[in-house]
Amino acid sequence: MRKRILAIVNPVSGTGNKEKLPRLIETVVDAERADVRVVVTRYAGEGHELAGQAAAEGYHVVVAVGGDGTVNEVGSALCGTSTALAVVPCGSGNGLARHLRIPMNTARALQLVNEDHVRAFDYCTANERPFFCTCGMGFDAQVSRRFADEGTRGLITYIKTAVTEYFKFNASHYVIDIDGERMEEQAFIIACCNAAQYGNNAFIAPRATMQDGLIDLTVMHKFNLAEGGLIGARLFTRTLEQDRHVSIYRGKRIIIERDHEDVIHLDGDPLTMPARVVIENHQHGINIVVPGDLRDDI
């Protein structure tokens, strides 16, 4: 039986021009073995609608062409279905693709669709909203909200936004329950992680894997600007847990209570949620196309 593949292209993700992508997809994906349909989205949320419809119709693979926000929009419609998610990274951070060793080169990432190595991975939810890499509260959520309002994308814009927001932001009070164990924190950042990184190889949870059934909870306390350089270096050298301002916990179900409703981010996209946020891991709940030589503990 010929496989059916839907490719969903977000034309506004990242910084590059996407005009040639539909033709590239049709050229690279093996037409002898699969029927491929390419759709360029016209509005926010259309990718989720299209992916859900494809899963209901029994498509083998839905390809998300864009950044982590696009991957979240498309992939969240595939959770709990037999339809696999493929990722062609074209965003600013590309956290999920980097974690799963998916090539940053578009043609090479598309070639994985032909190779068809599909494996089951964990995903998580925050108040039943899926995420695949990270869910953040505090400083990084505020940065995500400001970054979303910027006219330009990319790592440099993100860093500039983070530095500007640092001087405005204070730590907040959190009550955290991890599988029934309760604690209180005055934290600058709370990051709930399914994968190891935010994107751009910034590792907020260096030992997180997407196959252990657990959420890695990174709690970062306020640091001064001089210490920020070292923390930044540790993010990119996968040594963050060595920092005295950082504690990392693990659990399957985490409840976080804040003083009031506030912004959080899901895979980098900001939204407002109530004061109480329930984070849950759904083990092996989504099928993803990955390189054939991907190690088992990723």
Residue-wise pLDDT for 213-262, tens only, equals 999 999 999 998 889 889 999 999 999 999 999 999 999 999 999 999 99
What is residue 294's predicted lDDT score, i.e. its pLDDT? 96
C-alpha atoms less than 13 angstroms from C-alpha of 79 in its C-beta half-sphere: 21
Where along the chain do the CATH 3.40.50.10330 domains lie? 3-116
Q: Model-level pTM greater than 0.85?
A: yes
- Which string of b and e fits 75-90 if b means at least 16 CB within 10 Å? bbbbbebebbbbbbbb
Least confident of 17-21, 164-168, 172-176, 198-202: 164-168
Report domain 129-282's class.
Answer: mainly beta
How confident is the model over 148-162, as pLDDT tens digits? 777 666 667 777 777
How confident is the model over 73-96, as pLDDT tens digits? 999 999 999 999 999 999 888 999
- Mean pLDDT confidence for 176-182: 98
What is residue 151's predicted lDDT score, i.e. its pLDDT? 63
pLDDT cut 90: percent of the chain above it:
81
What is residue 154's predicted lDDT score, i.e. its pLDDT? 63
Contacts of 129 (CB under 8 A, 6+ apart): 76, 266, 271
- Mean pLDDT confidence for 185-206: 96
pLDDT cut 70: percent of the chain above it:
97
What is residue 228's predicted lDDT score, i.e. its pLDDT? 87
Contacts of 197 (CB under 8 A, 6+ apart): 95, 98, 99, 133, 134, 203, 204, 205
What is residue 155's predicted lDDT score, i.e. its pLDDT? 67
Give the DSSP H/E element, type plus range, for residue 53: helix 46-56
- The CATH classification number of 3-116 equals 3.40.50.10330
Where along the chain do the CATH 2.60.200.40 domains lie? 129-282
- Mean pLDDT confidence for 7-23: 85
